[in-house]
Amino acid sequence: IDGTPDGGVVPYFNGVVAGLASRGKKYFHGVYGSRNVCTNVTEKTGARYSFVSGMSWGFSGNLGYPLPSNWAINQIKEFAVTNGSDTFDLDRDVWRSGGEPGVGSVNDTGGPADTYIAYVQRLYDLATAYKSSSGSGTNASQLV
């Protein structure tokens, strides 16, 4: 597959592009694969970012190919992590500054307004606690 990206990979991504376009072009597509696959998919389908499987040195699609110009993440090494009696493999990745920003959290149900409201609530709670401990006659909302 990495030696002939035009065989099945590029047509697949053409379908992804068509599917995203049919839904209003709200999202951009990216690609994960060898350097050759990422470069070809980017050139032929306009992928915004590439996540390069750079540690897969056995691929013919990595040997002798430069990193694609839009690389955002490059997988460079796998290492074992031990947690108690459990051991699992984890990838060490290089993130390119200015590349795909990723996400700040997973399963976050709140938005920016929720964070602000929670902050104001904490301030109010601190003001109420201060009022109670100091015996101040000032309304707690005036302390915020």
0.85 exceeded by the pTM? Answer: no
pLDDT digits (tens, 9 = 90+) for 111-130: 778 888 888 899 888 888 88
Domain ranges in the chain are 9-105
The per-residue pLDDT for 83 is 92
DSSP code of 57? T
Q: In this model, does residue 1 exceed pLDDT 60?
A: no
Mean pLDDT of 14-21: 96
Q: In this model, does residue 140 exceed pLDDT 80?
A: no
User: What percentage of the chain exceeds 90 in pLDDT?
Assistant: 44
Q: Tokens in use for 7?
A: 């065989």
Give the orientation angle of helix 35-45 with respect to helix 9-22, to 10 degrees: 40
Q: Tokens in use for 70?
A: 């839009």
Contact, 90 vs 79, CB < 8 A? yes
Handedness of CA 130, 135, 138, 140 (dihedral sign): positive
pLDDT band at 84 (very low <50, low <70, confident <90, very high): very high
CA atoms of 60 and 74, how far apart (whole Å): 17
